Amino acid sequence: MKVLIVDDEKHVREAIKLLVPWEEYDITSILEAQNVEAAKELIQKENPEILFLDMMIAGETGSELLQWTYEQSMGCKVIIVSGFNDFHFVRNAMRYNGVDYILKPIDEQQIIQALEKAIEQWKDDEFRRQEHQSKNKRMDQIEPLYWDKVLSDFIQEPVKHLSMIQELNPSLDHTACRVQISLLSLQMIHSEIYKSMLSNKDLLYVSISKVCNGYLNRYGCGYAFRNWAVENEVVLLVWDQFDRMKFLLEEINQAIYHEVGSRFFFAMGSVQSTLSGVDLSYQKARKVLKEKINLKKPGGFIFEESQASLAESDTLYLNQYEEKLLFAMKNKDAHILTSVTERLTNEVRSLPSITLSHIDIWQNELEILKLKHFKRYALNQVDLKMSYLKMNDKGELLMEDWLGELRKSLLNLHQTISHSSKERLNVIGEIAKYIDKHYHEDLTLQCIAEQFYLSREHISRKFKLEFGSNLFDYLISVRIEKAKALLTDPGLRVSDISKMVGYEDEKYFSKVFKKVTGYSPSQYRNHLIQPTY
């Protein structure tokens, strides 16, 4: 702490310095001033916590300095030291929050008590100041989160949340105010900041929103927020400056580049005549973002609804490779998997255009593949979805980098399956294997429960959770698949096939077969197996 002694008499200043054991009160600096102007300079420069003030200083009154510290909210605690027992001085001391009024000659006990009182009051004030600052800081952090949530709801259901927009900007007339949505996508990001972004994604959102709102506030035309409903999306809600919005977005993107080291893609939706049409503008912007940007050669970063659509080409669906991928993985053959993934990546390379919509479809297909066929393995740690894609200065997708990550993900999936020994497979997987082997027997839930020492209820519940169907349906599907294969042999009668797949009653077998396939066994053999001429 610092103390300033203001008195034009040197011996008084020295007396105060000698009477107080400063170290005991954690006071490390004792400053002196012999007039009001010098005192003001020291207060502004050093910001002392405690001020000892004489009320008569070389023809000036200490009341002036006392009033000045009060009006300027300097925060220091003032102890009056005066040779005058004057009502006017005492009244001013009380008016401007003086801590104590000590008469000369100075008494040691009085001055120490006054100092202790001043220090206690200053600490109380400092605690309240810090608490207030902390509260304000928390509010500054919470308010953007509040508007992120409110506006994320608004662009989905505008009519329901119109009143909240009036709170954001009371001047907006929801019946006449035009509105437009522009989207900034974080799905594509410059390779130079890719790693740092992944480690602090929230900071990136804050930085981008701050830059966007700096420009939107300057022109009084909108507000930017993080969309809580959609990953990797900053939304710009705009209610003015529509004609120059594209140029403004270019300015914003340049400023973001200087701030975080990457430019981003912006997609502009249509201008709507009222605020209640904001959801339509948002949907249009999403369509532009997902379908009108050729990531192989985007040719810019700002895209509008009016821009020409990309030339249509045959859509590549990865499920066309599903059977080959499954064969390689289930047979734990890395060579086959490498060959399949190489053919897949070559076909991706040959596409004339790649959009964010394509990538979303492909990543969802891979995730479905994992969930659909490999539930029984511990695959939670194998993530086939890449939330962020690397691009260069021109916004072009780093194709080989992305394809490399795709190959790596598939190989990781393959390795996880390969390292899963029989002991690590769960018991429900073993039950499925048992059905695959003993399908022709008179299998019941009870006999399977006895075979595996589990309750029927437990098997039913776990089997449905693991395979998405109940055990009886699984048994039927296995039997019908076997029956289909047997029906290709014209030398086998339907009645014989019925018994071979576990059905003693031929009529019941035919009924089940038709329910599953849509054909009776004879129809299936005649029309789907035998060739027609």
Residue 141 — pLDDT band, cuts 50, 70, 90? low
What does the pLDDT read at residue 424? 41
Residue 380 — pLDDT band, cuts 50, 70, 90? low
Instruction: Confirm if 351 and 333 have CB atoms less than 8 A apart.
Output: no
Residue 480, class by beta-carbon neighbours within 10 Å (0-12 exposed, 13-18 middle, 19+ buried)? Answer: buried
> How confident is the model over 16-25, as a mean pLDDT?
92
What does the pLDDT read at residue 422? 43
What does the pLDDT read at residue 423? 40
Render 466-507 in DSSP notation, one character per residue: HHSS-HHHHHHHHHHHHHHHHHT-TTS-HHHHHHHTT-S-HH
**Is the domain 426-529 a CATH 1.10.3720.10 member?**
no
Give the model confidence (pLDDT) of 236-256 as tens digits: 999 999 999 999 999 999 999
Map 65-129 to HEC letters: HHHHHHHCCCCCEEEEEECCCCHHHHHHHHHCCCCEEEECCCCHHHHHHHHHHHHHHHHHHHHHH
Second CATH level (architecture) for the domain 2-127: 3-Layer(aba) Sandwich (3.40)
Q: What are the angstrom distances between the C-alpha of 494 and each of 182, 244, 359, 522?
A: 65, 76, 48, 7
Which residue is it, tokens 């021109």?
394
Six-digit token string for 110: 């009085």
Could you give the CA distance from residue 389 to residue 187 in angstroms, rounded to a whole number? 6
> How confident is the model over 168-189, as a mean pLDDT?
86
Could you give the CA distance from residue 42 to residue 35 in angstroms, rounded to a whole number? 11
User: Higher model confidence: residue 3 or residue 372?
Assistant: 3
User: Higher model confidence: residue 301 or residue 389?
Assistant: 301
- Whether 233 has a pLDDT exceeding 90, the answer reads yes
E strands, 173-253, are 180-185, 188-190, 222-226, 233-238
User: Higher model confidence: residue 411 or residue 278?
Assistant: 278
What does the pLDDT read at residue 333? 60
- Whether 531 has a pLDDT exceeding 60, the answer reads no
Render 255-286 in DSSP notation, one character per residue: HHHHHHS---EEEE---BSSGGGHHHHHHHHH
Instruction: Confirm if 340 and 321 have CB atoms less than 8 A apart.
Output: yes
pTM: 0.56
Instruction: Confirm if 174 and 167 have CB atoms less than 8 A apart.
Output: no
What does the pLDDT read at residue 459? 86
Q: What are the angstrom distances between the C-alpha of 192 and each of 187, 203, 386, 506?
A: 15, 16, 17, 68
Q: CATH homologous superfamily of domain 155-304?
A: Reverse transcriptase/Diguanylate cyclase domain (3.30.70.270)
Give the model confidence (pLDDT) of 267-290 as tens digits: 999 999 999 999 999 999 999 999
The neighbouring-strand residues paired with 79 are: 52, 100
Closest CA to 155 of 283, 291, 14: 283
What does the pLDDT read at residue 374? 62
Element (H, E) at 415: helix 399-418
Six-digit token string for 32: 């002196």
* Residue type at 457 in one-letter notation: E
Could you give the CA distance from residue 405 to residue 386 in angstroms, rounded to a whole number? 8
* Residue type at 451 in one-letter notation: Q
User: Higher model confidence: residue 453 or residue 403?
Assistant: 403
User: Higher model confidence: residue 456 or residue 303?
Assistant: 303
> How confident is the model over 334-355, as a mean pLDDT?
83
Q: Across the chain, what does the average pLDDT equal?
A: 84
What does the pLDDT read at residue 139? 54
What does the pLDDT read at residue 302? 95
Give the model confidence (pLDDT) of 180-219 as tens digits: 999 999 999 888 887 777 778 888 999 999 999 999 999 9
Give CB contacts under 8 A, 24+ apart, made by 205-208: 205/234, 206/144, 207/256, 207/259, 207/260, 208/184, 208/234, 208/256, 208/259, 208/260, 208/264
